[in-house]
Amino acid sequence: MSMKTLLITGACGFLGSEIVCQAQEAGWAVRAFDCTLRVLPPGIQGIAADISDMVALREALEGCDAVIHAAGLAHVFGRQATDASRFQSVNEVGTARVIEAAVATGIRRIVHVSSVSVYGSHTDGMCAESHPCDPVGAYAVSKWNAERRAMECVGRSDVSLKILRFATMYGDGDRGNVAQLIVALRRGRFVWPGLGLNKKSLIHKVDAARACLRALEKDGERVEIYNVSSPPVSLQEIVSAICSAMGKPVPRMRIPASLIGASRILALIPGKPRSLYESIAKITRDDAYDASLFNSIYDFQTLVSLDEGMRSAVASL
């Protein structure tokens, strides 16, 4: 790598902190950009600034060879999850400023961390990159808009922009959906919604960080978009892996299929009943993504098994 310099935004976050460690191990000179800097590994240059600060961004990008934009707002629940303005400010406008600054300072390779949520709330079978985007909710809409803003900023320049749409991430330090499922199982508050045979795509943060760095290895087309995920697994396999990691038996209590079907009525009622329906619908549907294109072009495969990944996630909670 001859000590090329890499700027990582969101460098102290869930994914960003893992990218920092792996990038340094791979021989990059790393600059860690985050609004709140935590303890960084020795030899890492830290820049404490917000991605809305164009002056700080340009200064941080000077002399860099590449940037991985991992900063973003996620894992927001309750009423705040519907605050579109917060997601727009960080995920959409913030992304535009990072890409604008990178293009202006002559960066040639950019990796933008996106999400499979841009496709919609669930899938019918496996979802490939050719599937139309239909984001649902403030977070998903902001990630979709961020992708489009990033492509606009690159324009007709010779910058290579890789947009990686990651499946649900998990691992130590997770605060998202997998962490919530682990907590529910630990507290004995999980009831099977149906048979648990529906498919879910996950990716451990170690593999997600590997994919970000692998995407920097080729120039490729001006703009490339990829799904990145481990092979899909069933909800039953996920729950079993978590319970095994906790040393607890797999729950047996199930919601009858007839009641799951009747829950559709809740969708017509505003407030908490509708939220309950959406939660049931989300966990009982497929959420599976085809990552074969990225795997083929970048000779990539995920290495963290479901059992190994869930052991690390459970141990951190």
Reading phi first (left if > 0) and then psi (alpha if -120 to 50, else beta), residue 78 is in: left
Residue 84 resides in a domain: yes
DSSP assignments along 145-188, one per residue: HHHHHHHHHHTTSS-EEEEEEE-EEESTT--SHHHHHHHHHHTT
The residue type of 293 is: L
The pair of three-digit structure tokens given for residue 242, joined into one six-digit string:
């978590």
Residue 297 has pLDDT above 60, yes or no: yes
Residue 239 resides in a domain: no
pLDDT bin (cut points 50, 70, 90) of residue 221 is confident
Summarize pLDDT for 75-90 with one digit per residue, the tens: 665 555 567 888 999 9
Residue 249 resides in a domain: no
What is the maximal distance between C-alpha atoms in the chain? 62
Looking up residue 14, the CATH number of its domain turns out to be: 3.40.50.720
Residue 81 resides in a domain: yes
Domain coverage including residue 73: 5-175+202-233+288-304
* Strand residue runs (E) in the chain: 5-9, 29-34, 45-48, 66-69, 109-115, 126-127, 160-166, 168-170, 192-193, 199-200, 202-204, 223-228, 233-234, 254-255, 288-289
Residue 17 has pLDDT above 90, yes or no: yes
SS3 242: helix
pLDDT bin (cut points 50, 70, 90) of residue 284 is confident
Cα–Cα distance between 83 and 160 in angstroms, integer?
Answer: 32
Summarize pLDDT for 39-76 with one digit per residue, the tens: 888 999 999 999 999 999 999 999 999 999 999 998 66
What is the pTM assigned to this prediction?
A: 0.90
Residue 187 resides in a domain: no
Summarize pLDDT for 151-207 with one digit per residue, the tens: 999 988 889 999 999 999 999 988 888 999 999 999 998 888 778 888 999 999 999
The residue type of 240 is: S
Residue 264 resides in a domain: no
Residue 98 has pLDDT above 70, yes or no: yes
Residue 210 resides in a domain: yes
pLDDT at 282: 67
Residue 153 resides in a domain: yes
The total number of structural domains that make up the chain: 1
